[in-house]
């Protein structure tokens, strides 16, 4: 084939080889970005790892907080039950009725 169109024909042939003009432009853009900023992929991966670590730490801390809160609630219920039982026994921990200073 006679190449009388020069660079234009080279572009058309290259675009046809990769699936069209849009694909050719996308390939050029990808190549330009990878050459201009080769560390972006690594920086993105590092940022993703950091975010994942922070989220994981937050989940861990949240679970610990909820476990402690539940333990505190159980302890509070037990204390409440002890207090109610002491009042049921007229305030005496030994089960004996307290005497007032006037009757002692």
Per-residue pLDDT tens digits for 4-53: 788 888 888 888 898 888 888 888 888 887 777 766 666 777 788 888 88
What are the angstrom distances between the C-alpha of 90 and each of 38, 78, 94, 97, 103? 79, 19, 10, 6, 16
Q: Which helix (H) or strand (E) holds 30?
A: helix 21-36
User: Distance (Å, rounded) from C-alpha 69 to C-alpha 19?
Assistant: 61
Per-residue pLDDT tens digits for 92-103: 555 555 566 665
pLDDT bin (cut points 50, 70, 90) of residue 2 is: low
Residue 66 predicted with pLDDT over 60: yes
Domain spans of the chain? 1-38, 39-94
Contacting residues for 11 by C-beta, under 8 A, at least 6 apart = 24
Contact between 86 and 93 under an 8 Å Cβ cutoff? The reply is: yes
């Amino acid at each position: 084939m006679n190449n009388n169109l020069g660079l234009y024909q080279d572009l058309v042939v290259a675009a046809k080889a990769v699936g069209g003009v849009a694909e050719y432009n996308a390939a050029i853009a990808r190549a330009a970005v990878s050459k201009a900023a080769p560390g972006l992929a690594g920086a993105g991966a590092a940022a993703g790892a950091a975010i994942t670590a922070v989220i994981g730490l937050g989940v861990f801390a949240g679970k610990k907080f909820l476990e402690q809160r539940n333990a505190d609630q159980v302890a509070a219920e037990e204390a409440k039950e002890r207090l109610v039982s002491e009042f049921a026994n007229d305030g005496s921990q030994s089960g004996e009725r307290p005497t007032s200073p006037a009757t002692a």
